[in-house]
Amino acid sequence: MRVCLLFVLWLLLGGVVWAEELFPGDFLEQFMAALQAGDAEKAALLVQANPQTVSTLENVFLAKAALSSGEEAKQLKALSQLFQQLSGVLEADNDSIPELEQLQAQGEQAYYRSDYQAALTHWQKGLQQAEALNNQAYISQFLGNLGVVYRNLGEYQRVLEYYEKALVIDREIGDRRGVGNNLTNIGNVYSNLGEYQRALEYYEKALEIKREMGNRRGVGNNLTNIGNVYSNLGEYQRALEYYEKALEIKR
């Protein structure tokens, strides 16, 4: 796939918002590198970690293929089909744990209604189920979810307990994305507590991981977080440096 084609696709997706997922250009670069290296596991993990980006790219590839011809159209259709196949395999795997998915979804619905007690109930039950199944990925996910709720409730010591447990699990299972997110979350808690030096330690560790992973959105967010810390410390020139770096990435 030519670089110019990837750039065109990236431009087509300029107005789409990705949460903590890779930008389209970064995702495509890493995905194609994994395919060329014959690393099917890494390609599948990229799809799993970036579902929103993948779903959008599937549609863009098909639309672009309809406007193209020859080899370019074939490549676009093949990529779209490959994404669909990988997504289908991952969905099939998830079907083996429907109750955990249901508890996750119920907790999300309650959380977005600001019904924190209901969210806690669903996610605590999910954590118990995941622990019974020894499903480390879901254990980490529910721990992180509970940390988010308790952060909204202002119970920062409990938040730290959940995030730190999730961080240990993510390191054990090799989930670098989860490690980076939990380091950022812990940094956020210390920033809320006014412990700015400790917040900086976690933000900088998270920044390093997100740079290694090519997660530019995550890099931009952590640069902003570090800028906020320096602003709170009254070191405005340093804060400006980080804000300007974050601005460049977000543009």
Q: 0.85 cut: is pTM over it?
A: no
Residue 11 confidence (pLDDT) above 90:
no
Asked if 24 contacts 53 with a C-beta cutoff of 8 angstroms, the reply is yes
Residue pLDDT, tens place only, 102-154: 898 889 888 888 999 999 999 999 999 999 988 898 999 999 999 999 999 99
Distance CA 87, CA 50 (A): 10
Distance CA 16, CA 104 (A): 25
Residue 15 confidence (pLDDT) above 50:
no
- Which of the four pLDDT bands, split at 50, 70 and 90, describes residue 20? low
Residue pLDDT, tens place only, 44-83: 667 777 777 777 777 777 777 777 777 777 777 777 777 6
Residue pLDDT, tens place only, 232-242: 999 999 999 99
DSSP-derived secondary structure for 93-138: HHTT-HHHHHHHHHHHHHHHTT-HHHHHHHHHHHHHHHHHHT-HHH
The enclosing H or E element of 215 equals none
- Which of the four pLDDT bands, split at 50, 70 and 90, describes residue 249? very high
Two tokens at 186?
Answer: 């812990």
Q: What is the pLDDT of residue 12?
A: 39
Residue type, 97: I
Q: Please state which of the ranges 58-72, 154-168, 216-230 shows the lowest mean pLDDT.
A: 58-72
Mean pLDDT, range 14-30, rounded to an integer: 62
| C-alpha neighbours within 13 Å on the C-beta side of residue 12 | 16
Residue type, 48: Q
Distance CA 214, CA 105 (A): 29
Residue 228 confidence (pLDDT) above 60:
yes
Number of neighbouring beta carbons within 10 Å of residue 202: 23
